[in-house]
Amino acid sequence: MSTFGGPHDLGMAANEDLALFTKADLQDPKYAYLFLPASPPGTSGLGRRLNPDQYYFACRWDYTATPREFLRRALARVENPANGRAADARPVDWGPHPSTGRVADLSPGLAAALGLNTDDIVRITISARRAIPVKPTLAMKRVGHGSSNPHGKPVIKQFIKSPNCSCRNGARIDKIVLHCTEGSLASALAEFQKSDGRQVSAHYVIDRNGDIYQMVSDSDRSNHCMGANQNSIGIEHVGGETDPLAAPQAAASAALIRWLLEQYQIPRTNIFGHDFTPGYCRPGGTSCPDRLFGSVHSQATIAAWVEANV
Ligand SMILES: [Zn+2]
């Protein structure tokens, strides 16, 4: 593999476009996140306008086997077999040129996240079942799972399995609980991986830079909100007691919540701050989620943030 795209990729001509996307796609929120808000100075093509921090890639596609329209809707799993790190990414282009001897080109951000350098080996898995619909309609049958969700699941930077979970036994997911780690990313990830401590966990942990880590499958119960774990998804946000959400963290959280609401048909009114979750029963309560969503510790603060952001 090698890397490509973005303002600093001088290997791409200033007017070079992409095989799978056109300028019309800049208006589509499903795809707009792949691009910078404006063309870098002196360029007009989509290649240099790619946001190098987003996760995208190119392969030398055979369009009879993987048609262009399929690729536009597909999410692929990209993996570094040397260290097991993996992430979801979107195909955007055809390449690299056969003369390079390489078969895949990754975004600089994706390569960095997976710990890959030029000419390393990468494994890419693309599955028809993970395609997203081209034209989601409200009339489409919503079954809670599968491909009817018009919101793509945000990229999970890494799935780090926590032992502190149990089978949901098919119980319906009907609420989302928002938390504050009251500590660093590293300390939260470490605590959730320990099986001999407080035995706590969360489904997701969102770092201040917007990176999302998953630690428990949605179909399992994580130990994040005593008394209310059976039917909830827990999202931790890295922050201290007086921190508000960081901007990229808020955007990532809102995107994840949007996907969860649609995926499990959760009512928008069922997004709670930890301390305000129905069923939560730890004696003495908690100060969580602190000041992340507003300066007043109340469910009204959470609801207002959801209204404004999700
Ligand atoms: Zn909490």
Q: Is the pLDDT of residue 220 over 60?
A: yes
Instruction: Go through 40-53 and write b for each residue having 16 or more CB atoms within 10 A of its CB, e for each that does not.
Output: eeebebbbbbbbbb
**Rounded distance from Cα 255 to ligand 1 centre (Å):** 20
Residues 122 and 178 grouped into a single domain:
no
**Rounded distance from Cα 178 to ligand 1 centre (Å):** 7
**Rounded distance from Cα 274 to ligand 1 centre (Å):** 5
Omega into 289 within 30° of 0, i.e. cis? yes
| Of 28 and 247, more confident | 247
pLDDT tens readout for residues 145-192 = 445 677 889 999 999 999 999 999 889 999 999 999 999 999 999 999
Residues 88 and 217 grouped into a single domain:
no
HEC per residue, 12-65: CCCCCCCCCCCHHHHHCHHHHCCECCCCCCCCCCHHHHECCCCCEEEECCCCCC
**Rounded distance from Cα 225 to ligand 1 centre (Å):** 7
Q: Is the pLDDT of residue 100 over 80?
A: yes
pTM: 0.56
Count Cβ atoms below 10 Å from residue 8 Cβ, excluding itself: 11
**Rounded distance from Cα 93 to ligand 1 centre (Å):** 42
Read off the pLDDT of each residue in 97-126 and give the average, rounded to a whole number: 90
Q: Is the pLDDT of residue 130 over 90?
A: no
Count Cβ atoms below 10 Å from residue 79 Cβ, excluding itself: 18
Query: Which two three-digit tokens encode residue 190?
Result: 């470490």
Residues 78 and 33 grouped into a single domain:
yes
**Rounded distance from Cα 162 to ligand 1 centre (Å):** 16
Residues 81 and 129 grouped into a single domain:
yes
**Rounded distance from Cα 238 to ligand 1 centre (Å):** 11
**Rounded distance from Cα 224 to ligand 1 centre (Å):** 7
Residues 305 and 163 grouped into a single domain:
yes
- Expressed in percent and rounded to 5, the helix, strand and coil fractions of the chain are 25, 20, 55
| Single-letter amino acid code for the residue at 299 | Q
Residues 6+ apart with CB under 8 A from 265: 142, 144
pLDDT tens readout for residues 44-93 = 999 999 999 999 999 988 888 888 888 998 888 899 989 888 888 999 99
| Domain membership flag for residue 150 | no
User: Mean pLDDT in the chain?
Assistant: 90
Question: Which pLDDT score, from 0 to 100, does residue 150 have?
Answer: 79
Residues 6+ apart with CB under 8 A from 46: 16, 17, 18, 21, 22, 23, 35
Residue 167 — φ and ψ, nearest 5°? -70, 135
Last-in-domain residue among 99, 133, 167: 133
| Domain membership flag for residue 146 | no
When divided into structural domains, the chain yields a total of 2
**Rounded distance from Cα 203 to ligand 1 centre (Å):** 12
Question: Which pLDDT score, from 0 to 100, does residue 148 have?
Answer: 66
Residues 171 and 124 grouped into a single domain:
no
What is the DSSP code string of 171-227?
Answer: PPP-EEEEEE-SB-HHHHHHHHH-SSSS----SEEE-TTS-EEE-S-TTEEESSSTT
Residues 218 and 85 grouped into a single domain:
no
Tell me which of 29-33, 202-206, 207-211 is least confident. 29-33
Read off the pLDDT of each residue in 15-31 and give the average, rounded to a whole number: 90
| Domain membership flag for residue 149 | no
| Domain membership flag for residue 222 | yes
Residues 113 and 250 grouped into a single domain:
no
Residues 6+ apart with CB under 8 A from 127: 74, 76, 77
Q: Quick one: which of 127, 140, 125, 143 has its CA closest to 57?
A: 125
In CATH, what number is assigned to the domain containing residue 223? 3.40.80.10
- Write out the residue range of the structural domain in which residue 48 sits: 2-133
| Single-letter amino acid code for the residue at 176 | I
Read off the pLDDT of each residue in 197-225 and give the average, rounded to a whole number: 96
In CATH, what number is assigned to the domain containing residue 79? 2.40.40.10
Read off the pLDDT of each residue in 228-257 and give the average, rounded to a whole number: 96
**Rounded distance from Cα 145 to ligand 1 centre (Å):** 27
**Rounded distance from Cα 179 to ligand 1 centre (Å):** 4
